[in-house]
A and B are shown apart, each in its own frame.
Chain A
Amino acid sequence: MKRKPTRRVAVIGAGLSLFMRRALDTGKELAYYAASQALQTAGIRLKDIQAVVMATAPDAFDGVHMKGEWLLDGAGGVGKPYLRAYVGGGSGVFSIISGWMMVASGVFDLVLVVAEEKMSSCQPHPQGAFLTIFDHIIERPLGPNLLWIFSLEQQRYMAAYGIRNEDIALVSVKNKHNALAHPAAQVAAQLTVKDILDSDVVAWPVHRLMVSPISDGAAAVVLASEQVARRLSDRPIWIQGVGWCLDTSYWGNRDLAYPRYVEKAAWMAYEMAGVTEPRKQIHVAEPYDPFAYKELHHLEGLQLADRGQAPEDLARGRFDRTGELPSCPSGGLMGVGNPIAAAGLMKVCELFWQLRREAGARQVPGNPERGVAQAWGDLMQIGTVAVLGVR
């Protein structure tokens, strides 16, 4: 991936709804809150927007088939070119990759990107919606539970590198603590490793407090071409690089201890951004953390820690908000909440605020100039990566 797009693209506004367990608000209304706020902070109106991207994960969550189309009006897409970006849990970051393509191609100058999920509709538990993502011949007869797969992966990660469950529980402690400073957070808390490991075992080695919650919520950003961004914003945040990659659909054929597809996606984005030494050139990271071990897994895939070493780095405070490389300063999915697609885009919003130094009590120290956001999903096989920076 040596080719570079000629048109640069910036984020010039961001918005977020509250994340909560069950919102009275419909998905359309949640999308409207986030989208209208993103427009407002960009200083533009809906009529200025030329095209809209909507990211939303499986239809089965909201219980509306073809919900991308159903959400159209809440996303501000009526009467405009409209695209649903859909790669499961990876959709939130894929949404700005899709919007970036629309602007970098030269077709549009102002694109609104919205992400929404209302998981509380799904009964008795949204996990049930995942039964049908497994191979219908080989795996579904066993009645697999989504948590099985993550527990199997975490266990393999632990076995491959001799990692203890205590080391992984520390992710929950860090992120739930970071989320205390996030005004939209659903599950912020001050907890200890003991609290995490005292919570129920869902599927060993995964405990209840090592899993992100069921959430309703929405997020949005406004993307602009360079010329328009410079006119509308005095502090545009540039999309310096994007990358994505899918591993095989047969999860039994993947390396469960190391996410190779995240590495490939990361290098695609880094090369586009001119990043050759990620650990020096990335100042703030928002890796995807739907499960506690996943943040560590992803930090390694993103080349921000050696393989199997992320737990040790975490324990010595490297990933704290005031550490050498703040990771999930927002509080992440473990702390802010996990309305699937919206959670990924929330990470992009967080980089926008961090790089503009508008993150308030969550602000990382120093002068962060470049950050990376990453999400993961589809059939647990995609990495979606975006590198953002101040220039």
Chain B
Amino acid sequence: MFKGLTNVAAARVWHGTMPVQYLYTAGVAGERFFQTLRRKGVFAVTTCAECQVTYLPPRLYCERCFADLSEAWAEVAPSGRVHTYTVVHEDQDGRPLDPPQVVAFVRIDGTSGGLIGRLLHLRPQDVQVEMPVDAVLAPPRRRRGSMDDIAGFAPRRVLPRRPTP
């Protein structure tokens, strides 16, 4: 049934690359999301009232019923819950990462979606599914209106403590 193949551990090889570069636009909905993030430090979302879905990242249209959502904007606080997480030990080229990075998918409160991001200010063993977290944003003057404005997510502080006199 099976043809014999020549299995050479070190077959002679040639190097090649596919050099191409791109300039991407954020899109109409994406641009509004990033400008809102830069100026106000909150997340812009769109809602389809009919389907009861709040899109984050925001969409210009409802993917379920094709409603136009260009006038259906709202804003939500950049906070949510750890829906799931991983501790990454290798980079994308398969090289070890030291220290390992904690990455989470965070469901954003008041939306049907979420964002992935690094988890900051906690040890891997202290992460829990469903723990509340807040986005850690770059200071307003340093924001450029891109994903880099979100440094990651950190455990929510219970109440701001008053400095003891």
Contacts and interface: CB of A to CB of B under 8 A. Distances in A.
Interface of A: 15-18, 20, 22-25, 30, 33, 37, 41, 60, 63, 65, 124-125, 127-128, 130-131, 135-139, 141-148, 151-153, 155-156, 159, 183-184, 200-206, 248, 250, 252-253, 256
Interface residues of B, number: 48
B117 A142 contact: yes
B147 A138 contact: yes
A250 B58 CA distance: 11
B5 A131 contact: no
A153 B89 contact: no
Interface of B: 1-3, 5-9, 11, 16, 18, 22, 24, 26-27, 30, 55, 57, 63, 83-94, 100, 103-105, 107, 112-118, 124, 129, 146-148
A15 B3 CA distance: 9
A135 B30 CA distance: 11
Q: Which of B16, B55, B92 has the most CB of A within 10 A?
A: B92
B116 A155 contact: no
Nearest to B88: A203
A204 B124 contact: yes
Contacts of A128: 92-93
A252 B80 CA distance: 13
A203 B89 contact: yes
Contacts of A125: 92-94
B86 A17 contact: no
28 contacts: A15-B1, A18-B3, A23-B11, A24-B6, A25-B5, A124-B94, A125-B92, A125-B94, A127-B92, A137-B26, A138-B57, A139-B147, A141-B146, A142-B116, A143-B92, A145-B88, A147-B90, A155-B85, A155-B129, A200-B89, A203-B86, A204-B87, A204-B88, A204-B124, A250-B57, A253-B55, A256-B83, A256-B84
Contacts of B89: 200-204
A147 B24 CA distance: 25
A136 B86 contact: no
A35 to B, nearest CB: 11
A152 B85 contact: yes
A23 B7 contact: yes
A63 B116 contact: no
Contacts of B5: 17-18, 20, 23-25, 30, 33
A141 B147 contact: yes
Contacts of B92: 125, 127-128, 130-131, 143-146
B135 to A, nearest CB: 13
A275 B73 CA distance: 45
Contact of A253 (B3, B86, B112): B112
B105 A252 contact: yes
A203 B9 contact: no
Given A137-B30, A138-B57, A155-B129, A145 B90 contact: yes
B115 A152 contact: no
A369 B135 CA distance: 55
Nearest to B4: A18
A358 to B, nearest CB: 9
Contacts of A127: 92-94
A151 B86 contact: yes
A252 B147 contact: no
Contacts of A153: 84
